Amino acid sequence: MAKRDFYEILGVERTVTEDGLKKAYRKLAFEFHPDRNQDDPEAEQKFKEAAEAYDVLRDPEKRRRYDTFGHEGLNGNGAGFSSSEDIFGAFSDIFGEVFGFSGGGGRGGRRPQAGMDLRYNLHISFRQAAKGDEVQLKIPTNVPCDQCKGTGAEPGSEMTDCRQCRGTGHVQQAQGFFRISVTCPTCHGRGKIITKFCSACHGAGVTSQVRELKVRIPAGVDDGSRLRLRGEGEPGVNGGPHGDLFVVISVEQDKTFERQGQNLVLRRSINMVQAALGDKIE
């Protein structure tokens, strides 16, 4: 029996983005998860198909081979799942972002995680939007503590392995038909216990600062536009990358001009003589 197209299984176009893949898989995983469809072999099969499709398409190299050669391009290259742990691995990678857990031993816990994205609401004048401008932003944000380098521990002090998770950063819990790994409640995923907190950040690993950043506003920007500044968000966890900064632009209305697409419109009332003979107006 021929295997179904992975894009068809997830209900997405072949040009789908990484975020689109995640959303599509998340929806199907919730709908057909075995815990929600006990004694339903068809739902279990759809869950496995969705997990396999997502596992291939989320990997750039596997996706390239699949787009070029189809299922044949994946033979012998890790396509499919060899165990239930592999099936739920794809599931846990998605839902771990939401619920803070990951499936299977050794996943999650202390792995690098990207920092949170930040949003900054910027109000600019009508003329700034029309001509473009460079503005200085003052952004309150968290930065890694200079004193402890983000560890949360006082420099020179010892950190011991967490006894509850034995240094892994996660503990096993039963969930329906399978076991999942959740973030350790004792060490909060660090795998280590701080014996003496950093005197500068009090164990948080970050300090609050107001960061100044210059942003170029392009000419002709629309009200409600978003500018994405990669890597300017919150710092990552466990060595993960910084999040992004989204600048949401609000354009003030002008008393003289109004905008229609890329055009500026000026409305003035004139009398019949001006209309017939022409005139100069201010």
The answer to whether the beta carbons of residues 117 and 226 sit under 8 Å apart is: no
pLDDT in tens, 192-216: 888 898 998 888 888 888 889 999 9
Which of 39-48, 211-220, 263-272 tops mean pLDDT?
Answer: 211-220
Q: What is the mean pLDDT of residues 2-10?
A: 85
pTM beyond 0.75: no
Report the C-alpha gap between 46 and 50 in whole angstroms: 6
> In order of start, what are the domains of the chain with their CATH numbers?
6-99 (1.10.287.110), 118-257 (2.10.230.10)
The answer to whether the beta carbons of residues 89 and 104 sit under 8 Å apart is: yes
Q: What is the mean pLDDT of residues 10-22?
A: 88
pLDDT in tens, 146-186: 898 888 889 989 888 888 888 888 888 766 566 677 888 88
Which of 2-6, 19-23, 264-268 tops mean pLDDT?
Answer: 19-23
Report the C-alpha gap between 111 and 100 in whole angstroms: 12
Q: What is the mean pLDDT of residues 223-243?
A: 84
Which position has the token pair 């050669």? 69
Q: Which residue has the higher pLDDT, 35 or 85?
A: 35
Torsional sign, CA 188, 191, 197, 203: negative
pLDDT in tens, 240-270: 788 899 999 999 888 877 877 777 787 888 8
pLDDT in tens, 50-107: 888 888 898 888 888 888 777 776 765 444 444 444 444 455 555 554 444 444 444 4
Predicted confidence band at 111 (pLDDT cuts at 50, 70, 90)?
Answer: low
